[in-house]
Amino acid sequence: MKIFGIDPGSDRTGYGCVETKGSRHHLVICGTLSAPRGATFPDKLNHIHAGLCALLARHRPDCVAIESVFHARNVRSALVLGQARGVALLAASEAGLPVFEYAPAEVKRAVVGYGRAEKAQVQQMIKLLLGLAAPPEPHDAADALAIAICHVHCATGIVAERAAAEKPSSTLKSWRDFRP
């Protein structure tokens, strides 16, 4: 199964494609899309759309995983990010691919194990999970790979199993009720 992850941004949109076979993940491609300096905002959006359409056509993933909207302190930044996100969703929709959305904290929790992990921690875990020689650069590409891996873990139930294992069972009233 191939999952294409997108970390939307108006100046730099991260992308990453991961192929998975069970518990083994393999890097297909990762990088960023950036419009030329001085480009107008509509031109930046067009560049993101065209780039993602070309990448999706070339790598033919099974689905797309994208970071969902989060609460931003700056309303203007949130609106701009939402427009870049919309362009990414449009590219996935035009390719006829199912789209799955994950909150930033959910992605970090699935990849690092902690919902407030730092960018460097995410990069390091992506390096380890994909068996790379160095962490992916820039962090937007690592974030896109993390989103793709988050989908793999959520789709296969790894995250659900981990959460169930960490949560004490409410059906046990006594140690005598425990059955291995």
Residue 82 Cα distances to 1, 79, 142, 173, angstroms: 28, 5, 20, 48
pLDDT in tens, 13-65: 999 999 998 778 999 999 999 999 999 999 999 999 999 999 999 999 999 99
Would you call 140 a catalytic residue per the annotation? yes
Tokens of 72: 């931003």
User: Between helices 104-111 and 139-156, what is the axis angle to 10°?
Assistant: 80
Residue-number span of the structural domain to which 126 is assigned: 2-177
Instruction: Kindly name the residue from 137, 140, 161, 177 that is annotated as catalytic.
Output: 140
Catalytic residue among 19, 62, 67, 118: 67
Q: Which of 7, 62, 106, 143 is catalytic?
A: 7
Distances in Å between the Cα of 149 and the Cα atoms of 18, 88, 105, 178 are 7, 18, 14, 34
The pLDDT value given to residue 99: 97
Cβ atoms of residues 17 and 147 within 8 Å:
no
6-34 burial code (b ≥16 CB/10 A, e <16) = bbbbbebbbbbbbbbeeeebebbebbbbb
Q: DSSP H helical segments within 95-157, as ranges? A: 104-111, 119-130, 139-156
pLDDT at 71: 65
Per-residue confidence band for 165, with pLDDT thresholds at 50, 70 and 90: low
Residue 67 bears catalytic tag:
yes
CATH number at residue 63: 3.30.420.10
Cα–Cα distance, 92 to 88 (Å, whole number): 6
Q: Which helix (H) or strand (E) holds 75?
A: helix 75-94
Amino acid at 180: P
Q: Is the pTM of this model over 0.75?
A: yes
Euclidean distance between the first and final Cα of the chain, in Å? 34
| Number of structural domains in the chain | 1
User: What would the pLDDT profile of 131-144 be if each residue is shown by its tens digit?
Assistant: 999 999 999 999 99
